[in-house]
Amino acid sequence: MALNVVIMAAGKGTRMHSATPKVLHKLAGRPLLQHVLDRVAPLAPVRCVVVTGHGAERVEQLVEKVVGGAGVCVRQEPQLGTGHAVQQTVPALDDAAETTLILNGDVPLIGSDTAAALAAAAGSQRLALLTVTLADATGYGRIVRDGESVRAIVEHKDATPEQRTIREVYTGMMAAPTALLKRWVMALTNDNAQREFYLTDIVAMAVADGVPVVATAAHDETEVLGVNSPAQLADLERRLQRRQAEALMNAGLRLMDPARFDLRGTLRHGRDVEIDVNCIFEGQVELGDEVRVGANCVIRNARIAAGAVIHPFTHIEGDGPGDKSVQVGASALVGPFARLRPGAVLGDEVHIGNFVEVKNSTLARGAKANHLAYLGDATVGARVNYGAGSITANYDGANKHRTVIGNDVHVGSNCVLVAPITIGDGATIGGGSTIAKDAPAGQLTVARAKQVSLAGWQRPKKSPK
């Protein structure tokens, strides 16, 4: 069945009190509208038309970024209601697609299967409404039935006291035969309490035309919840996080507390992985078998191999896939309070301790930097011991330079390695050295003033007042 999809995203979102258009506010790290676009993708519509208005340029940029040429944006200015929004899409709808599905840009968790079922229920013959029964239906359009059959949707503001007792409501999502939809929306009027063109008025038109109107019930409330306020956004975030946490736990991931776990992207994990409380995972993260993550870690775009332990308060911040990501080798120990930046690649059994920052550097198997250190643009050999307080001076104020440290090197405490520089295999760098020239393999290199002791030296005395 060929399908058009319309996503209404022109509304202002007054109750968000924000300069950002409502549909660009983020849920689990992605804009609301991006969730809807992602959920539409499996339906493979021949046209995906997004109605923009408030913050149109920014919304259009997102559509371009997420679906590129597969999406069409039409502007609705001013915004005169949902019916008026769909009127704007009429020229963009493909007549060859027999069904048109209408979704909302601010209802992000609509299931792809529910949307597909709604479109299938409409086909080329019926008007299909997605409905839900709520304990409190205040504010929603009510489904008015005559026996079993749906007669109309009446907006809350236009409803009689008796109609307001109806708890079956319209979710804002529907599907209709394309040709009929076009005809109906062009015939809408704004003769109602809000002087708006209500899309919902097409229900009564369908009934008058003898076109069957069917109501499809949503699976659950969460998939039809819209975002109108910061509180609703936060509520939906918690629901989505709980869902994600449950799916991961069902696959064996051990979360110390699913209520204190946030995933803003995708997390792949092996067996016997344990995650303590208050961790945030962003982008694409992979955790191998038996990885343990301590409390309060933020981990973005990283691959952490089997048996590695990430101690509390560690910040891992890969910047996308590939060479901007962060990799941690098997059985490595990282943290507490470590920071791994883009391009940090740690081999197996590497140890990175507290207040150590690693950026765009490779550390071979068994290398250790346990305290208060910086490694930037460095290649570090196997079993290197990199002392407390040592840094690579990789930036000369204009360009970045590399530091190459051979295998089995021992860098003492408080050294400055001025790049570009190479330290040969097995070299030892004396503590407190500033090393600006290559240091040969196997030797001790020291670059600091010689220690002297002055016998008979006297401390100055306070002069009398």
Instruction: Supply the residues annotated as catalytic.
Output: 371
Whichever of 162 and 464 has its CB closer to ligand UD1, that residue is 162
CA distance 50 to 455: 85
Rounded to a whole number of angstroms, the CA Rg of the chain reads: 31
CB of 329: closest distance to ligand UD1 in angstroms?
47
184 sits near ligand UD1 (criterion: CB under 6 A): no
CB of 117: closest distance to ligand UD1 in angstroms?
18
CB of 119: closest distance to ligand UD1 in angstroms?
18
Tell me which of 198, 261, 281, 386 binds ligand UD1, using CB under 6 A. 198
CB of 148: closest distance to ligand UD1 in angstroms?
20
Looking at 32-40, 94-102, 166-174, 215-223, which segment touches ligand UD1 (CB under 6 A)? 166-174
Whichever of 53 and 329 has its CB closer to ligand UD1, that residue is 53
Which residues touch 200 (CB under 8 Å, ≥6 apart)? Answer: 82, 83, 141, 152, 153, 154, 155, 170
6 sits near ligand UD1 (criterion: CB under 6 A): no
Query: Scanning the structure block, which residue is given the tokens 């946490």?
Result: 245
Tell me which of 3, 6, 10, 439 binds ligand UD1, using CB under 6 A. 10
Residues within window 70-129 making contact with ligand UD1, judged by CB under 6 A: 76, 79-82, 84-85, 104-106
Whichever of 81 and 343 has its CB closer to ligand UD1, that residue is 81
Looking at 9-17, 143-151, 257-265, 330-338, which segment touches ligand UD1 (CB under 6 A)? 9-17
Looking at 24-32, 114-122, 167-175, 437-445, which segment touches ligand UD1 (CB under 6 A)? 167-175
CB of 152: closest distance to ligand UD1 in angstroms?
11
Looking at 63-71, 195-203, 385-393, 411-419, which segment touches ligand UD1 (CB under 6 A)? 195-203
Query: Scanning the structure block, which residue is given the tokens 């993260």?
Result: 285
Whichever of 34 and 360 has its CB closer to ligand UD1, that residue is 34
Using an 8 Å Cβ cutoff, are 157 and 142 in contact? no
11 sits near ligand UD1 (criterion: CB under 6 A): yes
412 sits near ligand UD1 (criterion: CB under 6 A): no
Tell me which of 40, 51, 127, 411 binds ligand UD1, using CB under 6 A. 51
Whichever of 59 and 429 has its CB closer to ligand UD1, that residue is 59
318 sits near ligand UD1 (criterion: CB under 6 A): no
153 sits near ligand UD1 (criterion: CB under 6 A): yes
Nearest Cα neighbor of 188 from 204, 177, 176, 172 is 204
Tell me which of 108, 141, 283, 406 binds ligand UD1, using CB under 6 A. 141
CB of 182: closest distance to ligand UD1 in angstroms?
17
Torsion (CA) 261, 264, 266, 271 in degrees, nearest 10: -10
Tell me which of 3, 5, 6, 8 binds ligand UD1, using CB under 6 A. 8
159 sits near ligand UD1 (criterion: CB under 6 A): no
314 sits near ligand UD1 (criterion: CB under 6 A): no
- The vertex-163 CA angle with 159 and 165, nearest 5°, equals 120
The count of chain residues that interact with ligand UD1, using the rule CB under 6 A, is 27
State which residue has the least CB distance to ligand UD1: 141
Whichever of 80 and 369 has its CB closer to ligand UD1, that residue is 80
226 sits near ligand UD1 (criterion: CB under 6 A): yes
Where on the chain is the footprint of ligand UD1 (CB under 6 A)? 8-11, 51, 76, 79-82, 84-85, 104-106, 140-141, 153, 155, 169-172, 198-200, 226
